[in-house]
């Protein structure tokens, strides 16, 4: 989460919120489509998936109407997806590796698209279990930046980026959140 909603995503979220407030339960996919002018249920499902990915909605795919609005868009805050462990040979940002949502003030991050990596084991580079690495998605970095990269399919944190390494850059570490005590 964290990305701003486009007008259609906002309309879908508003339709769900209105329906829950007025009827006490979420609308069907067809009702959402009717309210926001989408003819294809597949298109509505796509918007629901994006709202889930951005952290505004939680769904139970086994139950068609089981939806919960968990965040309202705000220009003041950013909802970031949290992903779990860096597992060799596995993509980092998958739904099965998603661990939740982390909310921060927009002023703390600035512009860009962000995600969070939760550290589950000591890394040897100074990162401890429980640390939350806030990463800005980008494909370039300066010499010496702390970045998240992939090499041979393995995601890793590189504490001093060098263009000589040849790693696939995923993003730049912009903040570290650590619980003390």
Q: Is 56 a residue whose pLDDT tops 80?
A: yes
Starting at the edge strand that comes first in sequence, how are the strands of the sheet with 168-177 ordered?
Answer: 98-105, 77-83, 114-118, 132-137, 168-177, 147-151, 154-158
Please report the domains of the chain, with CATH numbers, ordered by start residue.
7-69 (1.10.10.10), 77-177 (2.10.109.10)
Q: What is the pLDDT of residue 155?
A: 66
Alpha-carbon span 124 to 38, nearest angstrom: 50
pLDDT tens by residue, 156-168: 777 776 776 656 7
Give one DSSP letter per residue of 49-104, joined into a string.
HHHHHTTSEEE-TTSTT-EEE-----SSEEEEEEE----TTS-SS-GGGEEEEEEE
87, pLDDT greater than 70: no
Residue with tokens 């989408």: 38
Task: Convert the pLDDT of each residue in 89-98 to its tens digit.
Answer: 556 666 666 7
CB-based contact 73:5 (threshold 8 Å): yes
Are the CB atoms for 16 and 26 separated by under 8 Å?
yes
| pLDDT score for 124 | 73
pLDDT in tens, 124-174: 778 888 888 898 988 888 888 888 877 665 667 777 767 766 567 788 889
Q: Which residues contact 96 (CB under 8 A, 6 or more apart)?
A: none
Strand partners, 75: none
pTM of the model: 0.55
Burial of 108 from C-beta contacts in 10 A (0-12 / 13-18 / 19+): exposed
* pLDDT tens per residue across span 69-82: 886 655 567 778 88
Query: Cβ distance 69 to 16 under 8 Å?
Result: yes
Question: pLDDT value at position 95?
Answer: 67
pLDDT given at position 1: 45
């Amino acid at each position: 989460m964290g990305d701003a909603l486009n007008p259609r995503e906002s309309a879908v979220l508003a339709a769900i919120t209105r329906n829950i407030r007025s009827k006490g339960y979420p609308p069907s996919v067809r009702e959402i489509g009717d309210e926001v002018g989408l003819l294809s249920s597949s298109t509505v499902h796509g918007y629901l998936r994006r709202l889930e990915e951005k952290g505004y909605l939680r769904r139970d795919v086994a139950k068609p109407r089981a939806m919960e609005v968990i965040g309202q868009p705000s220009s003041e805050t950013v909802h970031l997806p949290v992903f779990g462990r860096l597992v060799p040979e596995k993509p980092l940002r998958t739904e099965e590796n998603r661990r939740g949502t982390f909310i921060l003030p927009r002023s703390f991050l600035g512009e860009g698209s962000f995600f969070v990596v939760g550290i589950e084991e000591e890394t040897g580079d100074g990162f401890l279990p429980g640390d939350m690495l806030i990463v800005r998605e980008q494909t370039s970095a300066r010499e010496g930046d702390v970045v998240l990269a992939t090499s041979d399919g393995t995601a890793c944190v590189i504490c001093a980026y060098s263009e000589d390494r040849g790693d696939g850059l995923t993003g730049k570490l912009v903040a570290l959140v650590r619980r003390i005590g």
